[in-house]
């Protein structure tokens, strides 16, 4: 049967998703975080799904892109990447995104973060039209399941009193015992066998103690520590030295390629990044200076699943490892991450995912972790389906918000619990 894959309609639905009080160097996660759900509907009624960041700066370019796409084909993904989304470079170039957690901000990164959701939605629609999984459109899977690591956070038991939030049953984790208890829960519930601790929250000695406690509780399990650039070069080297025997890698101990290169030269612990190499333009300096040994791709800001494959190929050429970074995300993005990760031959580290922290989703069935892995779906497209009621509920929350939660701001969320909190100047230690 010949299908009409002309784009007839695009629905953009911003949502606010419940999030736990997870601590990082900037502050604490908001009780609700913005995401954008993209639905691309073809003339003959196929709907492709995509998801990306939902802060206001992504919504305008997404609307502009949606307007231009109607009447084009879901097969014309390359053409889509050539469209002008009108991202205002002057407003962005000097800044950082999400307080710096996603590296240096740029108009191109915003553009790619928007395009990524549309690319995923086009691939989902193509797959549904052809009866093929997305991984087949990307060249085929080289594994049947993708491994994820448990993403451990220092955490309050609840959001501050008086802040509207959904309760969670994970409890607090504010010391080594709490971190180990959280790791046990994540292992019991999802079977993870490697662990990443989000650091940069407490003085380095406390975080070293937490990693040591994890190493004792889970002998032989790969461990990572990621303080999001909170440390000086000297502190980074000290931590690397103290944890050299247990770390799989140290992630963004310090800010920027020159400082990472200095740390890298002084330790045998591999360094990973989702902060100093976040665009193709940052690769050359970092790789030629041997500043990083593992790049954590994020298909949102790298510009989609095909760009993630390009990044992986470049990493392979330079002998640099590749894995995946994660921010708060829903099941559409987890499905997209799993589909592309299935196609990357040189993926040798478990990927990050915040998904276990998300109690809410817009899918009718949540993706499942078994033994720390997500099975690669062979169903057409991404293999996921929308729960329209859930989407409407999470959108209503966004629509009713007075604007306070529509931009992710972990420092502002922190001030609800610690009124004097200021975003720390990095390096903090
Ligand atoms: O460096 C990282 O892995 C991240 O930035 C991941 C997340 O953004 C995490 O730090 C968070 O959301 O607190
Ligand atoms: Mg990181």
Task: Dump pLDDT digits (tens) for 365-380.
Answer: 999 999 999 999 999 9
* Closest-lying ligand 1 atom to the alpha carbon of residue 252: 1
**Residue tagged active-site, from 128, 196, 325, 354:** 325
Beta-sheet strands, E only, within 88-234: 145-147, 150-153, 195-198, 223-226
Distance CA(261)–CA(68), nearest Å, equals: 42
| H or E element in which residue 296 lies | strand 294-297
Only one residue has tokens 């993706």, namely 367
pLDDT along the chain (429 residues), means of 10: 92 98 98 98 98 96 97 98 89 61 83 98 98 98 98 98 97 98 98 98 98 98 98 98 98 98 98 97 98 98 98 98 97 98 98 98 98 98 98 98 96 97 96
* Closest-lying ligand 1 atom to the alpha carbon of residue 410: 13
Ligand 1, from 228, 275, 323: best to mutate by most atoms within 8 Å of Cβ? 228
Residue 41 CA to ligand 1 centre (angstroms): 32
CA angle 148, 328, 308 (to 5 degrees): 60
State the pLDDT at residue 99: 61
CATH homologous superfamily of 136-375? Enolase-like C-terminal domain (3.20.20.120)
Question: Model's pTM, two decimal places?
Answer: 0.97
Residue 114 CA to ligand 2 centre (angstroms): 21
Whether omega for the bond prior to residue 427 falls within 30 degrees of 0, making it cis, is yes
Ligand 1, atom 5, lies closest to the CA of 101
Residue 327 CA to ligand 1 centre (angstroms): 6
State the pLDDT at residue 95: 62
User: Is this prediction's ipTM beyond 0.85?
Assistant: yes
209-215 CB contacts, 8 Å cutoff, 24+ apart: 209/176, 210/175, 210/176, 210/179, 210/180, 211/243, 211/246, 211/247, 212/176, 212/243, 212/246, 213/176, 213/177, 213/179, 213/180, 214/152, 214/176, 214/179, 214/180, 214/183, 214/246, 215/246
Distance CA(354)–CA(373), nearest Å, equals: 14
- Cβ 226 under 6 angstroms from ligand 1: yes
**Residue tagged active-site, from 141, 159, 198, 221:** 198
| Residue 198 a catalytic site member | yes
User: How many other CB atoms sit within 10 Å of the CB of residue 216?
Assistant: 11
Q: Is residue 53 a contact partner of residue 59, using CB atoms and an 8 Å limit?
A: no
| H or E element in which residue 157 lies | none
Q: Is residue 55 a contact partner of residue 105, using CB atoms and an 8 Å limit?
A: no
| Residue 354 a catalytic site member | no
State the pLDDT at residue 102: 65
| DSSP codes of every residue in 245-291 | TTEEEEE--SSSHHHHHHHHHH-SS-EEESSS--SGGGHHHHHHTT-
Considering only CA atoms, which of 147, 293, 151 is closest in space to residue 225? 151
State the pLDDT at residue 100: 63
CA dihedral 170, 174, 180, 182 (to 10 degrees): 10
State the pLDDT at residue 128: 98
Can you give the residue ranges of every domain in the chain?
7-133+387-401, 136-375
Tokens for 112, please give them: 């790619």
Taking each continuous run of H as one helix and of E as one strand, the counts in the chain are 15, 12
Top CATH class, 7-133+387-401: alpha beta
Distance CA(108)–CA(419), nearest Å, equals: 35
């Amino acid at each position: 049967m010949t299908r009409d894959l002309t784009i007839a309609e695009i629905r953009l639905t911003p949502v606010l998703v419940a999030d736990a009080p997870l601590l990082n160097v900037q502050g604490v996660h908001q009780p609700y975080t913005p995401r954008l759900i993209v639905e691309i509907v073809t003339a003959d009624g196929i709907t492709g799904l995509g998801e990306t960041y939902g802060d206001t700066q992504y919504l305008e370019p997404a609307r502009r892109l949606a307007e231009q796409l109607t009447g084009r084909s879901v097969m014309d993904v390359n053409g889509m990447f050539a469209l002008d989304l009108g991202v205002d470079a002057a407003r962005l170039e000097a800044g950082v995104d999400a307080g710096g957690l996603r590296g240096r901000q740029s108009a191109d990164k915003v553009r790619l973060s928007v395009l990524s959701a549309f690319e995923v939605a086009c691939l989902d629609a193509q797959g549904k039209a052809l009866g093929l999984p997305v991984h087949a459109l990307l060249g085929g899977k080289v594994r049947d399941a993708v491994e994820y690591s448990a993403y451990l956070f220092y955490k309050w038991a609840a959001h501050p009193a008086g802040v509207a939030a959904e309760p969670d049953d994970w409890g607090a984790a504010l010391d080594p015992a709490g971190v180990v208890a959280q790791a046990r829960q994540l292992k019991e519930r999802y079977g993870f066998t490697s662990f990443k601790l989000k650091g940069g929250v407490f003085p380095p000695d406390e975080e070293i103690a937490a990693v040591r406690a994890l190493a004792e509780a889970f002998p032989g399990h790969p461990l990572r520590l990621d303080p999001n650039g909170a440390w000086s070069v000297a502190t980074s080297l000290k931590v690397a030295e103290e944890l050299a025997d247990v770390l799989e890698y140290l992630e963004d101990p310090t800010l920027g390629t020159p400082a990472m290169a200095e740390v890298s030269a002084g330790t045998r612990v591999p360094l990973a990044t989702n902060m100093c190499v976040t665009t193709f333009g940052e690769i050359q300096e970092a790789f030629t200076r041997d500043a990083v040994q593992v790049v954590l791709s994020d298909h949102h800001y790298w510009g989609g699943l095909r760009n993630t494959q390009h990044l992986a190929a470049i990493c392979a050429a330079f002998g640099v490892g590749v894995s995946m970074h994660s921010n708060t995300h829903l099941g559409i993005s987890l499905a997209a991450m799993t589909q592309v990760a299935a196609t990357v031959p040189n993926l040798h580290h478990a990927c990050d995912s915040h998904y276990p922290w998300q109690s809410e989703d817009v899918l009718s069935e949540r993706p499942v972790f078994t033994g720390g892995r997500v099975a690669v779906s062979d169903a057409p497209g991404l293999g996921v389906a929308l729960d329209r009621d859930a989407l409407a509920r999470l959108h209503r929350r966004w629509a009713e918000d007075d604007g306070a939660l529509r931009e992710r701001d972990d420092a502002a969320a922190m001030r609800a619990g610690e009124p004097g909190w200021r975003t720390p100047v990095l390096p903090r230690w």
